[in-house]
């Protein structure tokens, strides 16, 4: 005589089994070490960005986001490292996220990639690698960002009412700048001319705009700093 035992499995049993299995594989100590390392690396990235920033306007919120991104990436990697299906679902969910803020400085993109890479390594448990790698990257950025002097060009916009004035303006530019280049020239209603020059200044020569403004026929003279991209 054979007895058949029927076992009824409910949704609660499946949930409890899955929950207990994931809880048993979760290590609180490893997670705390990974998150603490991610915080310290994010703080290091924050300090390097603030120390080496040489742009026009420093963004404190962007710098904080670099540190938070390191922590968030580490947390995500810890969560998906134990489950392949969860990792695939996370890829699909994150694919709809778009970073709509334009990146004007290439170094900002470098710091973003550094934060993400550091978070991934912290979440995966490669603590020595992320520490050594971050120190090397930080030293390289400090060395090259502070030691190499880059000559930033300027845009000089001059308005005048006579074509003959242009010759005198270019004579002043020849004597007062290292190099200049005509970027655009606009004639407004046959009585006003506007020219735009890209100029590279000599050291301690701040009288260029004043000298051009003193030329007879010049109505205005403005000099602006820019990053080399110009659209007429």
How confident is the model over 20-67, as pLDDT tens digits? 455 555 678 888 898 999 999 999 999 999 888 876 677 888 889 999
Quick one: 163 and 215 in the same domain?
yes
Structural domain including 179 reads: 154-225
Sheet holding 218-225, edge to edge: 177-188, 192-201, 154-160, 218-225
End-to-end CA distance of the chain: 95
One domain, residues 37 and 129: yes
Averaged pLDDT for residues 180-200? 81
Q: What is the pLDDT of residue 2?
A: 46
Residues facing 225 on adjacent strands = 154
CATH number of the CATH domain containing 202: 3.30.70.260
Asked if residue 101 and residue 199 are part of one domain, the reply reads no
Whether residue 190 sits in one domain with residue 138? no
- CA 205 to CA 207: how far, in whole Å? 6
- Please check whether residue 18 lies inside any domain of the structure: no
- Structural domain count of the chain: 2
pTM above 0.75, yes or no: no
Last residue of a domain, one of 147, 167, 199: 147
Has residue 12 been placed in a domain? no
Given 102, 120, 147, the domain boundary residue is 147
Name the domain boundary from 147, 164, 179. 147
- Structure confidence by residue, pLDDT tens digits, 118-152: 998 998 889 999 999 999 999 999 888 766 555 66
Rounded to 10 degrees, what is the CA torsion of 36, 38, 44, 49? -150
- pLDDT above 70: percentage of residues in the chain: 69
């Amino acid at each position: 005589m054979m007895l058949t035992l029927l076992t009824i499995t409910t949704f609660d049993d499946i949930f409890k089994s899955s929950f207990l299995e994931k809880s048993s594989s979760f290590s609180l100590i490893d997670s705390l070490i990974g998150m603490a390392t991610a915080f310290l690396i994010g703080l290091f990235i924050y300090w390097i960005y603030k120390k080496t920033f040489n742009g026009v306007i420093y963004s404190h919120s962007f710098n904080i986001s670099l540190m938070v991104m390191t922590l968030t990436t580490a947390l995500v990697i810890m969560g998906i490292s134990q489950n392949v299906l969860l990792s695939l679902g996370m890829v699909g969910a994150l694919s709809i996220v778009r970073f709509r803020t334009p990146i004007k400085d290439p170094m900002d993109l470098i710091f973003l990639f550094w934060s993400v890479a550091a978070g991934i390594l912290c979440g995966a448990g490669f603590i020595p690698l992320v520490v050594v790698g971050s120190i090397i990257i930080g030293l390289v950025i400090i060395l090259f960002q502070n030691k190499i002097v880059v000559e930033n060009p300027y845009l000089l916009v001059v308005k005048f009412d006579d074509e003959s004035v242009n010759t005198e303006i270019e004579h002043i530019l020849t004597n007062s700048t290292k190099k200049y280049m005509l970027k655009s020239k606009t004639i407004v209603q046959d009585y006003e001319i506007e020219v735009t020059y890209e100029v590279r200044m000599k050291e301690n020569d701040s009288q260029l705009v004043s000298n051009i403004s003193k030329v007879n026929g010049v109505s205005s003279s403005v000099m602006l700093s820019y990053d080399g991209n110009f659209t007429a």
